[in-house]
Amino acid sequence: MFKSLLLAAVFLAPTLSASPAVDAAFTRIYSFDFATGRDIARRYAATHDADPLGHAVVAAADLFAELERLKLLTQEPGGGKSQGRPDPAAWSRIQEASRMAGQRAQALLVKNTDDPKALMALMLVHGIERDYLALVEKSYRQSWVSAKLSQQYALRLTRTHPDLQDAWFTIGFSDYLVSSVPFFLKPFMRMEAAEGNRAQAIENLRKAALGGRYLKGFAQLILAQIYRKDKRQAESDQMLRRLAADYPDNPIVGRELNRSNQGSE
pLDDT tens profile 230-263: 999 999 999 999 999 999 999 888 777 777 665 5
- Tell me the whole-structure pTM to 2 decimals: 0.89
Domains of the chain: 21-250 (1.25.40.10)
pLDDT tens profile 176-229: 888 877 765 666 667 776 778 899 999 999 999 999 999 999 999 999 999 999
- Report the Cα–Cα distance between both ends of the chain, in Å, rounded: 63
Q: Identify whether the C-beta of residue 264 lies closer than 8 Å to the C-beta of residue 237.
A: no
